[in-house]
Structure 1
């Protein structure tokens, strides 16, 4: 089973046991974190949300925080002698996906009665 989650303005395809790096969450290492924005859940059949799947959550445990590789930002304008060099290291949180759960939506009573009347 896999799920597509959205966090930090990005989308990730995850399955149980995966270790991923997401934008910094601000959660201490060892704690649990629940991703509520589940866009799709797949396995035997694919369930796509509008925009999210109702009742679907992805539970993860936080491994720790870190910084990514340095990216050099270089600004330059010709003929004016303008040069500016800057570096940036994006902070991230490393999480391990533990469980993908989907709660089946309960059928409304009126829908069940309409289905029984149709038969």
Structure 2
């Protein structure tokens, strides 16, 4: 079993070849692929965490589409003062498919 843990935005994701993952918005190259930075690589019984060895490993992914997350409503209220504040937010996301771990 071969998989890797990659750094994607402010999070880490466990990925295998063929996995579809939703990440924070990433800018793809002209051919629609991106390189992800591995933090951990597991190949059978071999576990790699050394930064020099991880620099030789590449995790490539194909960008499927860009999307936006669900709307999050932020409300603030203070009793008896007339203070109300309402704010919304939607995250910019990208759906990618892992094509290779080498």
**What TM-score, normalized by structure 1, do the two folds share?**
0.76
What do residues 17-71 of structure 1 show as CA deviations (whole Å, max 9, x unaligned)? 0000111012279611111x21000131211134982211100000010001111
Query: Structure 2, unaligned stretches of length 5 or more?
Result: none
Q: What corresponds to 2:90 in structure 1?
A: 89
- Provide the alpha-carbon RMSD of the alignment: 2.0
Query: Structure 1, unaligned stretches of length 5 or more?
Result: 102-119
State how many pairs are aligned.
Answer: 100
More helix as a share of residues: 1
SS, match of residue 70 in structure 2: coil
Q: What corresponds to 1:13 in structure 2?
A: 14
Following the alignment from structure 1 to structure 2, what is the Cα–Cα distance between the partners of residues 6 and 58? 11
Instruction: List structure 1 runs of 4+ shifted beyond 6 angstroms.
Output: none
Following the alignment from structure 1 to structure 2, what is the Cα–Cα distance between the partners of residues 78 and 16? 53
Higher relative contact order (CA 8 A, sep 6+): 2
Q: What corresponds to 1:112 in structure 2?
A: none
More strand as a share of residues: 2
Q: What corresponds to 1:34 in structure 2?
A: 35
